[in-house]
Structure 1
Amino acid sequence: MKEISRRLFLGASASLALAAGTPILQAAAGDSPNASPEGTTIPSATSITDNGGAVWTVSAGVIYRNGATVGETYNVSVLLWYGGMVYHSGTGGQWYVCLNNTWLKVTDPRIPLSAPAGLMYGVNGHYDTQLSPAVIADRMSALGASVFRVNTGGNASTIGAAATIASYLNSAGKTTFPVIDAGLRDANGALAYGSESDAYNAARAIGTQVAQALAPHGVTMYECGNELTRDPYIILPSHEADAGTKAIDFNNTNWPIMRGFMKGLIDGVKTVQPSAACGINFCKSDIAAADALWDGMQPDGSGGYPQIRWDITTWHNYEGDGDIFHIGTDGAGPSFNLPVYVKARYGKPFMMTEWNSDPNQGTAHRASYIPTQLAEFQAHRSTEAFQSAMFYELDGGDQWGLTEGDGTPLNPPYSAFQSFVSAHPDV
């Protein structure tokens, strides 16, 4: 869950300029004004210009960027510019995307992936909230929200508190989405585990305990870990302001600890509920972190390690991080459409499990930001399987919330959320 000290807010994002009816894909600050139109292909075009201004061509089946080859390519039948990235397919039909001069296997990013209705609108809360479960359910109904994301640690008291909330919400027809908020540190803040196997075993026990407590209350989805890629033991301190699109942003020595912990949480949940849907959340544009986990790679580029497989791709994105649909690479580079990329890479439903505006701006700014972002999110439900957007948070008061700490509606953000959902039902 979010703490102000853990997030850099960099001012208004490009998304604030997005009004209803404006095309979703648009140039972001720093993008080349000469970038090719979305969906340009070779053939029929003779060249593609990317958001960084580089010119791509194909000759004799080989791909060139500014006249130099990019990786090893041959028998290329189509080069595609889509979602701020360059894709290609060969005569065999396999698609690839170029990231950091490496071609990674994907599916055709233009193929739509749809998410079913019912989970689009959600809110965040805490196991130790002063709101009763009845008040949470009442505020959710008034807002039109169907999902309550609640954190739980690895001990009986936090798990029990989350289960009490889940029990009531289940009876009220609401969905509880627990985030297992157990981390990599001990009580003194030091790295708690000495090996990947130690981290795995501890996390598996936690995941099992959480699922045993929550499964009886209709819980079928879990978020396994909370912003673990952003722990200073995992992301290199000198790279913390970067966006995570390069593997070198992360600590190679400690990476296996995080990987083992994530895998342990997932396996623990699935020991109890084999059909449960498990997600791992990422932040900013941590696609290098996601790719490394998915492919069993280390930050140093070595491979052959355990591959982490999730059922839902979950992300955190705040205003200062930039617009998720054209977010900058590694903090400052040209933008790309992150949900398009992860759809093509992993083929899983996408959830924005934490989002909000700059908390330093006040409630009027938040009220303006909410419908703008919800309009973007909803527009991608049928194309990038954008299944849910969970606002952070329900009872966060003036700095974050839709209500005061006691559940009193906080306007204008409360009314802005409520009005949008009323006008755009999740059907």
Structure 2
Amino acid sequence: MLRYLRRALFVACTTAAPLLAPCAHAGDLLWGLNGHPLVSYPGVTFDQQIELVKQLGAKSYRVDVVRLDAMEGLARLVDTAAARGVAVLPVLLPPLDLKSESAGDLKRKSAQFAEAFVRRFPQIEVWELGNELENYAILQPCETMDDGRKYPCEWGPAGGVTALEYYGPRYAKVAAVLGGLAEGVRAASATAKRAIGSAGWGHLGIFERLKQDGIPWEITVWHWYDGDPEPSFKALAQYGKPIWVTEFNHSYGSQRDGEDGQARGLADKMALLRKLAPTYGIQAAHVYELLDETYWAPSFEAFMGLIRLERTPDGKGWMLGSPKPAFYTYRDAATQK
């Protein structure tokens, strides 16, 4: 759900690794948050964002990285976060045109992008590669599946549940990007962990495709906003890698069910994740997101935050507003109050 694509870390707590995610409660999930400090959140400083992350009891801040010229900004964010015991989880989103660029060019550019960032930040242990990229490859009505059958024209888009529910030519480009990112990370670091995943919603087939094509990853990523996640976690656990839920929240945030409804839904989700974690190897969970992106109203993105974003008194800018009920729900659950 990171807007700019629409369009393990559990190491021992030691002072030798200050930018790794610090341990939360022994045996508990690594709780994190999503934010857009490098591309959005106008009027809210890095210091303000990280202080809020700390107040919430989170230990990881997932952020989108979309340009090479964001490197110095990322450096300042990483330093700011480390000073407060928070790790940054960068999501590498190279500026590419999937429609017009060849698979070869996509792979080359992706590898260069990843290698540049990982060489610059050897202290960052985990890098997420792409965000919900498989959406681009989902099979559409009347398209031909890889086994030669025609997907029914009267049906809607495929569910992405099996490996055949992705259109081959588009999937090849998705695989090129993810493969390039994976190669770039490994070229820069022999130990950095690569997190790859999907948008959730039953998109399990992408993992089988990537496995078949030899695209490597060390952490399996899943997003969860609605429905029962346990069948998906059971399927994902078969890959034998730790699972990170890098996006979750009450469906539609506070837009559909109000702020109290968001808080109740978030409490239920955090409790369920904590319950399922030992069984399926779920290690981390990041709420989407820290702040309401009020400037995107009436989109649901304007209602996903734990904290309001409000207009400045002159109406020309943005500033932090007050916490929503879900803020306190998250804080109390993450800190086990």
Q: Same fold (TM over 0.5)?
A: yes
Kindly indicate whether residue 252 of structure 2 is the aligned counterpart of residue 342 of structure 1.
Answer: no
1:125 aligns with 2:35: yes
Query: Any stretches of 5+ residues in structure 1 without a counterpart?
Result: 8-114, 297-306, 326-336
Q: Distance in 1 between matches of 2:90 and 2:28?
A: 17
**TM-score, normalization by structure 1:** 0.62
Change (3 A) 1:199 1:272: same
Alpha carbons of structure 1 residues 280 and 2: separation in structure 2 relative to 1, 3 Å: same
Work out whether residues 401 and 410 of structure 1, in 8 Å CA contact, stay in contact via their aligned partners in 2: no
CA shift for structure 1 position 407: 3.8
C-alpha spacing 1:117/1:221, structure 2 compared with 1 (3 Å): farther
Calculate the aligned-residue CA RMSD, in Å: 2.5
Aligned 8 A contact 2:182 2:215 in 1: no
Q: How is 1:2-401 mapped onto 2 (pairs within 5 angstroms)?
A: 2-3=2-3, 117=27, 120-126=30-36, 127-128=38-39, 129-130=41-42, 131-153=44-66, 155-182=67-94, 184-185=96-97, 191-195=99-103, 197-215=104-122, 218-231=123-136, 234-238=137-141, 241-283=157-199, 284-296=201-213, 307-319=214-226, 322-325=227-230, 337-344=231-238, 346-359=239-252, 360-361=255-256, 362-396=258-292, 399-401=303-305
**Whose helix fraction is larger, Structure 1's or Structure 2's?**
2
- Structure-2 separation of matches of 1:5 and 1:225: 8
Supply the distance in 1 between the matched residues of 2:215 and 2:165 (Cα, whole angstroms).
19
Q: Quick one: which amino acid aligns to residue 84 of structure 2?
A: A
Name the aligned partner's letter for residue 174 of structure 2: M
Give 3-state SS (helix, strand or coil) of 2:82's partner.
Answer: helix
TM-superposition CA deviations, 1:20-59 (whole Å, max 9, x none) = xxxxxxxxxxxxxxxxxxxxxxxxxxxxxxxxxxxxxxxx
Q: Which residue does the alignment assign to 1:68?
A: none
Question: 1:136 and 1:269, CA in 2 relative to 1: closer, same or farther beyond 3 A?
Answer: same
The aligned amino acid for 1:399 is F
Change in Cα spacing, 1:285 to 1:270, as seen in structure 2 (3 Å) is same
Question: 2: CA distance between counterparts of 1:265 and 1:119?
Answer: 27
The answer to whether 1:423 aligns with 2:328 is no
Mapped to 2, the partners of 1:264 and 1:415 lie a distance apart of: 40
Quote how far apart the aligned CAs of 1:226 are: 1.0
Separation in 2 of the partners of 1:242 and 1:372?
Answer: 29
Q: Deviations over 1:78-113 (max 9, x none)?
A: xxxxxxxxxxxxxxxxxxxxxxxxxxxxxxxxxxxx
More strand by share: 1
Counterpart-to-counterpart distance in 2, 1:161 and 1:143: 23
Question: 1:245, 1:285 within 8 Å by CA — same for their partners in 2?
Answer: yes
Matched letter for residue 145 of structure 1: A
Q: Deviations over 1:229-280 (max 9, x none)?
A: 012xx12333775431123321111222211210110111121121001111
Q: Distance in 2 between matches of 1:5 and 1:181?
A: 8
1:145-186: CA deviation from partner (whole Å, max 9, x where unpaired)? 101000001x2223332232112112221111000122652x
Match of 1:198, SS state, is helix
How many residue pairs end up in the alignment? Answer: 283
CA distance in 1, matches of 2:5, 2:126: 29
Secondary structure of 1:382's aligned partner = helix
Contact 1:151 1:162 in 2 (8 A): no
The answer (yes or no) to whether the contact 1:224–1:266 under 8 Å persists in 2 is: yes
Range 284-293 or range 402-411, more displaced: 402-411
Is residue 222–residue 276 contact of structure 1 (8 Å, CA) maintained in 2? Answer: yes
Instruction: Say whether the 8 Å CA contact 1:119–1:147 is kept in structure 2.
Output: no
Contact 2:5–2:93 (CA<8 Å) still a contact in 1? no
